[in-house]
């Protein structure tokens, strides 16, 4: 499944949020991908996420594919909604 | 075939295979892993990851106590990078699919990811690649650490190639007896590695800037320590030429052997006292064999190296006694330990770590003034070792008179202490200083009222006079013993000593330089002290010159303004 998220936290996905996303994604068995512009990365990879250079206001797509894809999608979406406990 | 020109650090020719010492900038080579060993290679990689994880845990604990939680978060990121599928999955995949070694697979992944990061325009994110490389480097170090063949375990004769050699490396080189010669990126003629190579008589070329990146493990190499040239993968013809040259050098060496025991006298009958520079690990048999006019510089700092506490009186006394007995009736000048800040910390004594500029820092007598107990121990050992009454004491790194007055006070305290222990110092060794700071050189007349002799340490004197750090590759070409400023200052010292009727010797690199030494003798230096391996070569030179000619040449170079002119005048006088 696929969801679109607009980055709301002012610092963008820097190291700590990237770590949180990678950690959360790794808890699930399904594939988790994040797509920004034309770049597609593995969301279980902190380096991959940072490589997106997703700043404030940019849009990303989170694509989950596998048996727990729904749970994974919800968990990741809630990280963004909570603005990574930053604000 | 590639020919690289560097600095000739120690004469001789070595022909052999390269052995590369890896450093921070590790050279990673692709290696094919046979199918049956791939599993083991993957395990080796996983072990390195585990080890890195433990290292990070340790580091985090340290950061938590020193810097606090905020900083420790960085380590959490590093932990995540370590777990990143890019590293755990991609690298393993490369090892398995391509059959390559773990280091190579890892560096490929790092390079590729690094390149992806380079494309990011946002500086904040771009900078994150350093975290990746930081972790990558930690893993690689854990991978290669297990692979490194330390020099003391060498199985065959090799030529060592390094970015820079550290004292511990030189120690291993000496012990291994398998190193034919070495070359390295850093260094110059007077750096400790060059002095080391000269002292054990293996050819060396240094200051080659990037040679450690150009040579691969096992490459055929020729080291020409006379011309300062390294030849990578030489043609057969060149190898043949060098083998002949090596034979010629051997012949020359055997000719020099005949000079043993012959006095060092110029063609026109001027006698020069020619002494040897040694340290505590020098071979006493070789020293005896050379029949020198004594030891002009006994470097005692090697007694203090690679250990947790300073040597005690008993150990020091034994070391000094064995040299004193070897040279017997001849003089031996013991220089009190010239150790610097960082080495002291190793010795379990509070010192200064990481000095910005150690050459201008806490070293030599400055350190002993801060730790007079170390000076007392060394002086006591020297007094007790002076049974042959042939020892002189020399103090390094002196820059003001109060320092030598301090030493003299300690001397009398020590003598009193010894007396109360029932040991009367009958043979009071003459006291001298090493002239290596411009301050000591310019005020040497005042010093000479307090002391018995001076010895000019040209290596340091040159770098202090010219304000050139001889270890710094950016300026090392400015290091120039022929600089008129250096020669004039040396002349000041010689004149002052002659006026007071005191002995002046030179124990630095200049004393064994075939051209520069003629200026020194010409200016009236009484004695030269040179590395044992160069001893007979220098004697040969002394015997071949005319004192009349070189002394008038020496006077004329004092008036010159450029070192090129000086060198020309020396060559002209030696024709």
| Residues of A whose CB is below 8 A from B124 | 12, 14, 53
A76 vs B25: which has the higher pLDDT: A76
Q: Across the A/B interface, how many CB contacts are shorter than 8 Å?
A: 51
ipTM over 0.90 threshold: no
State how far the Cα of B168 lies from the Cα of B491, in Å rounded to an integer: 38
Chain B nearest-CA distance from A84, in A, is 15
Residues B117-168: tens digit of each pLDDT: 877 777 667 667 777 887 888 888 788 764 444 566 778 899 999 887 765 5
- Pick from B85, B116, B122: CB nearest A44: B85
What's the domain range around A67? 2-85
pLDDT at B351: 67
What's residue B166's pLDDT? Answer: 64
Q: Does B133 touch chain A (CB under 8 A)?
A: no
Residues of A with CB under 8 A from a CB of B: 12, 14-16, 19, 22-23, 26, 42, 44-48, 50-51, 53, 55
Q: Which of A8, A12, A14, A35 is catalytic?
A: A14
B80 contacts on A by Cβ (under 8 Å)? 19, 22-23, 46
**What domains, with CATH codes, occur in chain B?**
2-22+149-240 (3.50.30.10), 35-145 (1.10.274.10), 262-574 (3.20.20.60)
Give the best residue of A7, A24, A51 to mutate against chain B (max B CB count within 10 A): A51
The enclosing domain of A50 has a CATH number of 3.30.1340.10
Please identify every stretch of chain B with a pLDDT value under 50, giving residue numbers as ranges: 146-149
Mention every residue, 6+ apart, whose C-beta is less than 8 A from residue A32: A25, A42, A43, A44, A62, A63, A64, A72, A76
* pTM, 2 dp: 0.62
Q: State how many domains chain A has.
A: 1
Using CB atoms, which residue from A12, A23, A53 is nearest to B80? A23
| Pairing between β-strand B13-21 and β-strand B158-162 as defined by DSSP bridges | parallel
In angstroms, rounded to a whole number, what is the distance separating the alpha carbons of residues B366 and B397?
Answer: 7
Q: Quote the CA–CA distance of B485 and B558 in Å, as a whole number.
A: 9
In this predicted structure, which of A3-12, A73-82, B221-230, B424-433 has the lowest mean pLDDT? Answer: A3-12
B73-76, long-range: CB < 8 A, 24+ apart: B73/A16, B74/B131, B76/A19
Average confidence score pLDDT of chain A: 89
Residue from B328, B273, B272, B302 nearest B199 by CA: B302
Eight-state DSSP code of residue B533: G
Å between A9 CA and nearest CA of chain B: 15
Give me the pLDDT at residue B345, please: 63
Distance CA B30, CA B149 (A): 18
Query: Chain A contact for B542, CB < 8 A?
Result: no
C-alpha closest to that of B407 among B384, B428, B379: B379
CB B402 within 8 A of CB B369: no
Nearest to B132 among A16, A23, A47 (CB): A47
Cβ contact B79:B54 at 8 Å: no
């Amino acid at each position: 499944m696929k969801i679109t998220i607009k980055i709301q936290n002012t610092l963008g996905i820097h190291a700590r949020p990237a770590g949180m996303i990678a950690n959360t994604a790794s808890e699930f068995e399904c594939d988790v991908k994040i797509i920004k512009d034309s770049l597609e990365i593995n969301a279980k990879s902190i380096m991959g996420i940072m490589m997106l250079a997703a700043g404030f206001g940019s849009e990303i797509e989170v694509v989950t594919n596998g048996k727990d894809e729904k749970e994974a999608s919800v968990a990741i979406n809630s990280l963004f909604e909570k603005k990574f406990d930053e604000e | 075939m590639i020919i690289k020109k560097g600095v000739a650090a120690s004469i001789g020719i070595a022909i052999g295979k390269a052995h590369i010492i890896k450093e921070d900038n590790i050279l990673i080579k692709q290696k094919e892993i046979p199918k049956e060993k791939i599993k083991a290679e993957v395990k080796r990689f996983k072990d390195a990851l585990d080890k890195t994880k433990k290292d990070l845990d340790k580091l985090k604990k340290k950061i938590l106590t020193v810097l606090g939680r905020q900083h420790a978060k960085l380590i959490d990121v590093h932990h995540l990078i370590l777990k990143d599928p890019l590293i755990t999955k991609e690298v393993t995949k490369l090892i398995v699919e391509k059959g390559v070694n773990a280091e190579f697979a890892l560096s490929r992944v790092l390079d590729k990811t690094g390149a992806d990061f380079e494309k990011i325009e946002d500086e904040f994110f771009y900078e994150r690649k350093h975290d990746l490389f930081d972790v990558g480097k930690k893993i690689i170090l854990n991978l290669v650490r297990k692979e490194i063949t330390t020099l003391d375990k060498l199985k065959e004769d090799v030529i060592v190639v390094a970015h820079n050699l550290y004292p511990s490396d030189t120690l291993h080189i000496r012990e291994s007896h398998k190193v034919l010669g070495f070359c390295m990126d850093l260094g110059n003629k007077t750096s400790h590695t060059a002095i080391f190579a000269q002292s054990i008589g293996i050819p060396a070329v240094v200051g080659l800037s990037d040679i450690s990146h150009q040579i691969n493990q096992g490459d055929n190499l020729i080291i020409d320590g006379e011309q300062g040239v390294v030849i990578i993968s030489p043609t057969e013809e060149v190898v043949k030429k060098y083998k002949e040259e090596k034979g010629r050098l051997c012949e020359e060496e055997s000719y020099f052997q005949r000079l043993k025991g012959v006095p060092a006298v110029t063609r026109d009958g001027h006698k020069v006292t020619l002494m040897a520079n040694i340290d505590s690990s020098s071979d006493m048999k070789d020293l005896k064999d050379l029949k020198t006019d004594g030891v002009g510089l006994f470097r005692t700092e090697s007694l203090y190296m690679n250990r947790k506490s300073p040597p005690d009186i008993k150990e020091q006394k034994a070391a000094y006694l064995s040299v004193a007995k070897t040279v017997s009736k001849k003089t031996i000048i013991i220089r009190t330990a010239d150790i610097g800040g960082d080495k002291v910390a190793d010795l379990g004594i509070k010192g200064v770590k990481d000095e910005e500029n150690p050459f201008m820092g806490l070293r030599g007598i400055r350190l002993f003034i801060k730790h007079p107990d170390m000076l007392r121990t060394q002086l006591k050992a020297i007094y007790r070792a002076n049974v042959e009454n042939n020892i002189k004491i020399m103090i390094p790194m002196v820059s003001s008179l109060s320092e030598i007055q301090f030493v003299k006070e300690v001397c009398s305290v020590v003598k009193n202490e010894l007396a109360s222990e029932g040991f009367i110092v009958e043979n009071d060794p003459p006291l001298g200083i090493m002239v290596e700071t411009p301050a000591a050189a310019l005020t040497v007349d005042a010093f000479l009222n307090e002391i018995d002799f001076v010895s000019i340490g040209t290596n340091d004197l040159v770098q202090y006079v010219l304000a050139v750090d001889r270890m710094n590759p950016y300026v090392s070409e400015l290091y120039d013993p022929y600089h008129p400023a250096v020669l004039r200052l040396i002349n000041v010292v010689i004149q002052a000593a002659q006026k007071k009727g005191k002995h002046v010797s030179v124990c630095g690199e200049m004393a064994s330089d075939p051209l520069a030494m003629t200026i020194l003798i010409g200016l009236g230096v009484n004695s030269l002290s040179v590395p044992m391996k160069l001893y007979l070569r220098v004697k040969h030179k002394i015997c071949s010159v005319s004192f009349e000619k070189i002394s008038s040449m020496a006077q004329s170079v004092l008036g010159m303004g450029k070192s090129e002119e000086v060198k020309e005048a020396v060559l002209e006088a030696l024709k």
